[in-house]
Amino acid sequence: MAGPNGLKAGEELTFFYPSTEYAMAQPFDCFCGSGECKGRISGARDMTRGQLEGMWLNVHIRELLGMNGSREGIVEEEEEGDETAKALREVVNAAKRALDGYLAAKNGNGTAVKKVNGANGVKKLNGQYANGNSHEIEAEGLRARGTTSRELSGEMGGDTIVA
């Protein structure tokens, strides 16, 4: 289905990524040249209100942007042709994402997540594990993986032996 009128010969089927993507790792330039062209396509977080105006946006995107009446989260309109400001904003956003990833990997405070009593990051509080028990319960999937996708696809069909 391509909308209420369907898709006709010669029409291009397009997808407006910011309708479902809040942040995009690889924004790109649109060169369609239509009157409604958005120019640089990135996540909704990095687009201006003018670029998003009139477009269908997923509910979670609207919530993240604060589009329920407030202006917080919406990038202010920039002057036409201010490519330097756009490039700098993208660099800053990429640095923020890299820092967020680093902090998440380092447990948010610069210390690596360590195994505690054999559990990956599960810590005791008042003698209890995070699962509420006085002893750790190992998840069933941690002991044996079962049949892998490689085996199911036939990739390991005799050329590889189980050690």
Please state the pTM of the whole predicted model.
0.34
pLDDT at 11: 65
Q: Give the length of the chain.
A: 163
Contact 55, 16 (CB under 8 A): yes
For residue 77, give the nearest of 62, 66, 89 by alpha carbon. Answer: 89
CA dist 19 and 59 (Å) reads 9
For residue 48, give the nearest of 14, 87, 18 by alpha carbon. Answer: 18
pLDDT at 62: 82
pLDDT at 92: 86
CA dist 46 and 41 (Å) reads 9
| Coarse DSSP helix, strand, coil percentages of the chain, rounded to the nearest 5 percent | 30, 5, 65
Q: Which stretches of the chain are assigned E, i.e. beta strand?
A: 28-29, 40-41, 115-116, 119-120
Contact 46, 23 (CB under 8 A): yes
pLDDT at 61: 83
CA dihedral 126, 130, 135, 140 (to 10 degrees): -170
pLDDT at 133: 55
Q: What is the pLDDT along the chain (163 residues), one digit of tens a residue?
A: 455 666 666 666 567 777 788 888 888 888 777 777 778 888 888 888 888 888 888 888 888 888 654 444 445 544 555 778 788 888 888 888 888 777 777 765 555 555 445 555 555 555 555 555 555 555 555 555 666 666 666 665 555 555 5
